[in-house]
Amino acid sequence: MSDLLPGTTPSHPEPATLLTSDGVSIDAALLRGTATRPVAIAVANGFTGTWRNPGSRMIARSLLAVGDVMVFDFRGHHSSGGECTVGDREIHDLEAVVGHLRGLGYTRVATVGFSMGAAVAVRHAGTFGGVDAVVAISGPSRWFYRGTPRMRLLHFGVEKPAGRWFLRTARRVRVTDREWDPVPPDPTELAAAIAPAPLLVVHGDADAYFPVEHALRIHEAAREPKELWIEPGMGHAERAMTPERAERVARWLAARLDGASGPAPEGK
C-alpha cells in the first residue's frame, strides 16, 4: 500500500466516548496516520466483536493507507453502554461515529462493516446518508435467517435466557431480551438508497454463517455505483480477513475517496 500514501504508521489509539441520539455511550478510538488528510473511515465490527481484537486492529492499520480510522464497540459490547439489539438500534451508534468524524473536520467519511456491522453500515447509509462510500463484508441480506448451524446457534444465544447469560459472562456482550417492535427494514430494503455513494459488497464462498446468496441479494437491490466481490475460500467477517484482503479493500476505498478536499481535521 505504500504506493497510495507514504507514512501510514498508526499513532496510539486516541480514546473517545461518544453519545448516541438515544443516549447510549459508545467506546471508540481514533487512529491517525502520519500524514494530514481530510478522509476518515469508520469500522463496524460484527456481533460480539470489539475494536480491541488483533484482527480488527490489523484491518484498521490497513485502512490507514486511505485515511484516519475510527474503531468502536457497538452498544452492549464490552465497554460501550446499553444493550445490543443485534442490528436494529445500532444504526444510531454508527451515526454517532460518523457525526463525530464530521465534527472533527473530516470532509470524506466511509464506513466498513462486518457481518452485523455490514447490515448496520448498509442500513445506516440508506437511512441517514452522509457517507461517501460503504463496504459491507459478510453481511446478511435479511433478518431471522436460520439456514446454517452457526446461525441457529446464534439465534439461541440472543433469544434464550441461557444464551444471553453465556454471551454476557463469556463474551462481554449484553443482549436485550426485548423483541423488535417494529421490525426494522432489512439491508435489501435500504441498499438502493445508498446511491450515489458507491457500495462494495464482499462475501466469502466458504462463509459458515451466511451463504453467498445474501451478498447477491444486497448487490442486486443496490443501485449503481456498486461492486461485488465473491472471495474464493474466504470464511466469515473479521476472522476471515487477511492483510491482503484488507489492503484490497483499502485500494478500492482510495480510488473512490481520492477526490477529498477541504481543511485538515482538528488536532492535526
Task: State how far the alpha carbon of 145 is from the alpha carbons of 40, 42, 54, 131, in Å.
Answer: 32, 26, 29, 28
**pTM higher than the cut 0.85:** yes
Question: What is the structure's pLDDT at 263?
Answer: 43
- What residue spans define the domains of the chain? 14-254
pLDDT at 35: 74
Show pLDDT as tens, one digit a residue, over the chain (268 residues). 433 444 445 568 899 999 999 999 999 999 998 777 899 999 999 999 999 999 999 999 999 999 999 999 999 999 999 999 999 999 999 999 999 999 999 999 999 999 999 999 999 999 999 999 999 999 999 999 999 999 999 999 999 999 999 999 999 999 999 999 999 999 999 999 999 999 999 999 999 999 999 999 999 999 999 999 999 999 999 999 999 999 999 999 999 998 543 444 554 4
The span from the CA of 62 to the CA of 209, in Å, is 25
What is the predicted pLDDT for the residue at 34? 78
Residue among 145, 144, 141, 115 nearest 222 (CA): 141
The fold of the 14-254 domain, in CATH, is Rossmann fold (3.40.50)
| DSSP code for 32 | -
- Could you please report the per-residue DSSP string of 109-168? EEEEEETHHHHHHHHHHHHH---SEEEEES--SSTT---SHHHHHHHHHHHSHHHHHHHH
Amino acid 235: pLDDT: 98
- Interhelix angle 161-170/149-159, nearest 10 degrees: 90
Cα-Cα-Cα-Cα dihedral sign, residues 220, 225, 231, 234: negative
What is the per-residue pLDDT for 214?
Answer: 98
What CA–CA distances, in Å, run from 163 to 34, 79, 159, 173, 175?
44, 20, 7, 11, 9
